[in-house]
Amino acid sequence: MSAARMLTGDRPTGRLHLGHYVGSIANRVRLHQRYESFFIIADLHMLTTRNTREDISRVAGNAREMVLDILAAGVEPDRATFYLQSAVPEVGDLNTLFQNLVTVPRLERVPSLKEMARDAGKEEMPYGLLGYPVLQAADILCVRAGVVPVGRDNAPHVEVTREVARRFNHLYGEVLPVPEMIHAETPVLVGTDGRAKMSKSLGNAIALSDEPAVVRRKVLGMYTDPKRVRADVPGTVEGNPVFAYHDVFNPDRAEVDELKERYRAGRVGDVEVKERLTVALNRFLDPMRERRARFAAERGLVDQLIADGTERTRQEVRQTLAEVRRAMGLTAAYQQIRRRAERSRRKADAPATVGTGGA
Ligand code: TRP
């Protein structure tokens, strides 16, 4: 057996942000040193909520930016296989087979799907969106990934993957690994507007590739304790997004503790707390900006990575699909038909037997 594999990835809808970082990318950077790593550019998943020609016309460009974001975060290009999901059509075959291993009520209980439908302005649940976790199971199992880093939203999807794998193995024999989830230290990051989740479509995100001045503008505009009309009014730290970010991104614990104390006592203005957060965030993002610029300057690097990775992944998926079809007995079914067809053709061609045995 080869070493365990990791699969992770994102839909190519735009640049990655701090929420992606804490939910999954931090773990990807750590784990890609240990596992053979696949990074999916999940454009088929994107289609479950965005499928206009215009959305699709942006896939190639967004894929490039996304891969740059991941490399900028610290994933080494020669330790990672990046691939475009829609260019591996065999994953759709696997999806079709897996659709019979999970029920509609089970999928209706996956919380993120209703949220995604709502955020996309859908009144009714699209069939493809309901099947989102099944397609994700096909992604994960088609490369036989043993680990998947997850934030809050993807954990229930990978739970479905685990059920699909177990169900498959129960029905057809031990073929598929049941992947482990690697949970994030911070499973979900609040948005700059104080809403529960940072999300590009909600317009409350700080991108990993934002310029220092943009980070500052976004931080100064952040939602804080609304009761605090003046700096001498005691403020609330708990649930305050500015402090939530300090907790995650400011490594100077002493500074954060001191700011919290002064905030609670009404002895520091919001602007100072935000200016210090700006400094901390830009310090956190600076090395990423540097790496991003370096990788972006290497002409053709990202496109070559994706093209080579897609070919490589396709080979893997073909093997898995062949094994899955064999285990299920589908290969044998067609073999039987072909053998019979062949036999009957041979009989028809043999002159000695012509006309014998007929009715
Ligand atoms: N669901 C992931 C997202 O939130 C994208 C994705 C698709 C994925 N297939 C995957 C993540 C397989 C990990 C493993 O955008």
> Has residue 345 got a pLDDT over 80?
yes
Amino acid residing at 116: M
| Residue in the structure block whose two tokens are 């479905």 | 160
From ligand 1's centre to the CA of 297, what distance in Å? 28
Q: Is the CB of 136 under 6 A from ligand 1?
A: yes
* CATH number of the domain to which 101 belongs: 3.40.50.620
Could you give the CA distance from residue 158 to residue 184 in angstroms, rounded to a whole number? 14
Residue 351: the pLDDT is: 75
Residue 306 Cβ inside 6 Å of ligand 1? The answer reads no
CATH code (residue 267): 1.10.240.10
Which residue's CA lies nearest to atom 2 of ligand 1? 10
Ramachandran sector of residue 3 (left: φ over 0; alpha: ψ -120 to 50; beta: rest): beta
Q: Which domain covers residue 129, as residue numbers?
A: 2-191+300-330
Residues 21-59 pLDDT 10s: 999 999 999 999 999 999 999 999 999 999 999 999 999
Q: Say yes or no: CB of residue 45 within 6 Å of ligand 1.
A: yes
* Strands ordered across the beta sheet of 80-84: 80-84, 36-41, 5-10, 147-150, 180-183
104 CA distance to ligand 1 centroid (A)? 20
| Cβ(160) – ligand 1 distance below 6 Å | no
Q: Is 185 exposed, middle or buried (0-12, 13-18, 19+ CB in 10 A)?
A: exposed
81 plus 138 within the same structural domain: yes
Helix (H, G, I), strand (E, B), or coil: what is residue 347?
A: helix
- 16, 27, 45, 141: residue to mutate for ligand 1 pocket, most atoms within 8 A of CB: 45
CA dihedral 16, 162, 37, 311 (to 10 degrees): -90
Given CA atoms 196, 197, 201, 206 in this order, what sign does their dihedral have? positive
Which pTM value belongs to this model?
0.93
The tally of domains found in the chain comes to 2
Q: Mean pLDDT over residues 76-84, rounded?
A: 97
Q: Residue 204 falls within a domain, yes or no?
A: no
Same domain, 104 and 244: no
Q: Work out the average pLDDT over 67-89.
A: 98
At residue 40, the 3 state secondary structure works out as: strand
Tell me the pLDDT band of 200, cut-offs 50, 70 and 90: confident
CA dist 294 → 20, 69, 71, 290 (Å): 22, 12, 10, 6
> Tokens for 332?
């044998």
Q: State mean pLDDT over 76-105.
A: 98
pLDDT band at 1 (very low <50, low <70, confident <90, very high): very low
Q: What is the pLDDT of residues 158-193, one digit of tens each?
A: 999 999 999 999 999 999 999 999 999 998 999 999
Pair 160, 241 in one domain: no
Q: Which of 136, 141, 159, 180 to mutate to test the pocket of ligand 1 (most atoms within 8 A of CB)?
A: 136
